[in-house]
Amino acid sequence: MLGGTVVGVDWEWVLDCDEVVASRRREARAGIPAPWPSWFPADCVDAVRATGIHQPWQHQVEFADLAHAHKHAAISTPTGSGKSLAYLMPVLAATTGNAAPPSGQGARPRFTRQRPTALYIAPTKALAHDQVRAATALAPSSCRITALDGDSDVEERRYAREHASFVLTNPDMVHFSMLPNHQRWASFLGGLRYIVVDEAHRYHGMFGAHVAGVLRRLRRVCDLYGASPTMLLSSATAPNAATFGGRLVGESAVEVVDESTSPVGPRTVALWQPTSSLRQDTSRLLAGLSDDGAQTLAFVPSRAGAELVSVAAQEQAGEPARIASYRGGYLAMERRALEASLQSGELRGLATTNALELGIDVSGIEAVLVSGYPGRLSSFWQQAGRAGRTGQEALVVLLARENPLDAYLLEHPELIFDAPVEHLVLHPENPHVLGPHLAAAAQEHPLTAADARWFGDTTVDLAEELAGQKVLRDRGGRWYWTRPDRAVDHINLRAAGQKPVEIIEHATGKVVGLIDHEAADRTVHPGAVYLHQGEAWHVSSLDLEDGHAFVSRFAEPYYTQAQSSFDIDSLQVVRRRRVSGLELTLGRVRLTSQVTGYLRRDEVTHEVLDCTPVDLPAHRMMTEAVWWSVPPALGKALGWAPLEMGAAAHAMEHTAIGLLPAFAPCDRWDIGGVSTPMHPETDMATIFVHDGLPGGSGFAAHAFEVAQDWLEATLERLEGCECVGGCPACVVSPKCGNANQVLDKDKAAQLLRALLQGG
């Protein structure tokens, strides 16, 4: 550009590309500042001002005032709207001990003479550490802030218990360590004024139900020590934030501040239909924008994808060294180095998995590429919100994946631009979750009927049931845990929890990287090409038991793609019932998955070079499922080929699963489905809808109860959807393990109608 100052960057060329099918621009909006709350101590104001924040925004003060008046409250505003300062104001005021007393209204907590304390809970360790840094920067020196997690040593734990005024931790630590040892935490818990639950929207589904159990136990134990902390939630926008927040913390609802008054910069969101391939277009945009000087993040769904995008972008970029990749599984040192160079601006382009969504707060990002719709609108906006954090011009490009869901969204841009984000689903009363937490609560302090105050109406029934199973002992209306082991050790908040596999260079013994146990089969099976930081490694062996994979350097022009098989067997019938003419079964099943081989593909053309079988163990999971089959007579009458029957069953499975959350209080990601055109046991087309967790989580059982309404609604949706040939509103599922291949909406409707009519 001649004769002018270049401010920001020029990405008009992106919007001029033919691949852009729609775009929407949001104009900049000024923020609405407010004066500091009168109760916020002067030394705190000084400390915050010293960081460059001269005045808070109106919504921050609104939330802080609610918190200061001891109202349980949620702040539910977009990424980057300053939620941290909103909850830190009351926390700092209370824990520095200089706060003016709250003015009359509201329930006044029973304060003890103990030091005033606050607890912060984040879903990940990394985020808690990030918040320790943020809080330390904003707090006056009198506030003693510390992180508490699995890495804290004995001395750090003692410091947290005995001296800290603000402890930042995660739900696992509260569950496994703080609550079972609550006597040692008595002085900290007795002084607790606030419990901050950050990223509250992460606590949905089963994990959410567990965290809800932990929070109820925590509030109950605080009560034993005379404290009634105010619950403060910070979450992404959700239409039902008040009731969701209430369910999470154990109240009927919480107060909500959901209108952000912080300034927003101008932002353009564009929808992109790739012409070559998703990966090529993502890397082309990443290289082009980085060369233009725009700091750009590309969100790529898989780890391998992020590596490949960064390699391809480096090849096209003017300054390849300024582009890198990031994902979970990097070593802590590598991760910190990447974060630092992103923050300094030295790194211009980064291809990342959603591991970046948490844990680091980078403010200079100008452009975000979302490579493939992430499955939920809330996740999309979360990723988009990474751009333009400091008010600069921002660009967001959603690149469609080659699947019907993304294609459908690009045909209906209003579903991206104007649709409300999803409701948050949470069912803390699920007896499969609440029961074990009641047992843990009983070990923490004997349980009585009065504890329904914390755990809800089903408390007594469940406690009696646990006593019947000899888990608890009933002694005159008080239930005790009398077993020698720890009740908390029977509860896994996150379900999956095996230690990651170390990837080791054969020649040197050096650890190259880490990978989740669950993903190891697919990623580092023998013969796999493993990509790390843009370098390719060839895997020679994998030992899942020891948690090691051995690799050596590799420079051939191909990559690999794992192939797997999936199977389901019914083990035991629990109940059967008729739903109109259809026979429905509830039972225990065994799911088996196995990586059976891999394809070698040309790095450039992606052509399949060959297919190699591998010998890896099958992974089994026992859980609960509901299922129904096509009776032989009906199968015969329809006269369909196996492929047609399979397509009908598969489509029916998707629609049924998609609709189940409307009838059973579960998150659709907590359940799964399998359909087969010819199940080996029944010799008939069979549709299974199963719990997503080992041992079952109660959703399949609930589905069995509500099957009449549920299956009728499934039929209504199949017959009523106005699309031609199936769409995400009927049969297309973002969770499909078979990439939505072989679906037939019309035959699914025909088949289900016939089933319900009894053949």
Judged by the rule CB under 5 A, the positions of this chain that interact with Zn ion are 721, 723, 727, 729-730, 736, 738
Q: Which is nearer to Zn ion, 712 or 719 (CB)?
A: 719
Q: Which is nearer to Zn ion, 469 or 738 (CB)?
A: 738
Smallest separation (angstroms) from Zn ion to the CB of 353: 23
Smallest separation (angstroms) from Zn ion to the CB of 492: 27
Residue pair 378/200 in contact by the 8 Å Cβ criterion? no
DSSP 590-627: EEEEEEEEEEEEETTT--EEEEEE---PPEEEEEEEEE
Q: Which is nearer to Zn ion, 103 or 738 (CB)?
A: 738
Smallest separation (angstroms) from Zn ion to the CB of 677: 13
Smallest separation (angstroms) from Zn ion to the CB of 721: 3
Smallest separation (angstroms) from Zn ion to the CB of 526: 29
Which of helix, strand or coil describes residue 671? strand
Smallest separation (angstroms) from Zn ion to the CB of 623: 18
The type of residue at 6 is V
Question: For residue 695, is it left (φ>0), alpha (ψ between -120 and 50) or beta?
Answer: left
C-alpha pair distances (Å), 708 with each of 566, 663, 664, 721: 29, 10, 12, 20
Q: Which of 211, 127, 136, 125 is nearest to 166 (CA)?
A: 136
- Distance between terminal CA atoms of the chain? 73
Residue pair 426/447 in contact by the 8 Å Cβ criterion? no
Residue pair 55/49 in contact by the 8 Å Cβ criterion? no
Q: Which is nearer to Zn ion, 442 or 749 (CB)?
A: 749
Which of helix, strand or coil describes residue 676? strand
Q: Which of 35, 98, 89, 43 is nearest to 66 (CA)?
A: 89
**Angle, alpha carbons 98-99-103 (nearest 5°):** 155
Q: Which is nearer to Zn ion, 382 or 740 (CB)?
A: 740
Q: Which is nearer to Zn ion, 22 or 723 (CB)?
A: 723
The type of residue at 49 is R
Smallest separation (angstroms) from Zn ion to the CB of 728: 7
Smallest separation (angstroms) from Zn ion to the CB of 592: 17
Q: Which is nearer to Zn ion, 311 or 736 (CB)?
A: 736
Q: Which of 224, 119, 236 is nearest to 170 (CA)?
A: 119
The type of residue at 410 is L
Residue pair 523/303 in contact by the 8 Å Cβ criterion? yes
Percent helix / strand / coil, the chain, rounded to 5: 35, 25, 40
Residue pair 518/501 in contact by the 8 Å Cβ criterion? no
Smallest separation (angstroms) from Zn ion to the CB of 51: 50
C-alpha pair distances (Å), 199 with each of 66, 196, 278: 19, 10, 30
Smallest separation (angstroms) from Zn ion to the CB of 130: 37
Query: Residues 388, 393, 399, 400: is their CA dihedral positive or negative?
Result: positive
Smallest separation (angstroms) from Zn ion to the CB of 263: 41
String of b and e for 703-726 (b: at least 16 CB within 10 Å)?
A: bbeebbebbebbbebbeebeeeeb
Token pair in block for residue 246: 């209430």
Smallest separation (angstroms) from Zn ion to the CB of 522: 18
The type of residue at 37 is P
Which stretch of DSSP H or E encloses residue 46?
helix 42-49
Smallest separation (angstroms) from Zn ion to the CB of 738: 5
Largest CA distance in the chain: 87
Which residue's entry shows tokens 């009696």? Answer: 464
CA atoms of 406 and 404, how far apart (whole Å): 6
CA atoms of 498 and 501, how far apart (whole Å): 9
Smallest separation (angstroms) from Zn ion to the CB of 399: 23
Q: Which is nearer to Zn ion, 394 or 718 (CB)?
A: 718
Smallest separation (angstroms) from Zn ion to the CB of 616: 23
Q: Which of 117, 120, 128 is nearest to 150 (CA)?
A: 128
Q: Which is nearer to Zn ion, 190 or 726 (CB)?
A: 726
Smallest separation (angstroms) from Zn ion to the CB of 651: 9
Question: For residue 558, is it left (φ>0), alpha (ψ between -120 and 50) or beta?
Answer: beta
The type of residue at 622 is M
Residues 6+ apart with CB under 8 A from 614: 525, 526, 527, 595, 596, 597, 598
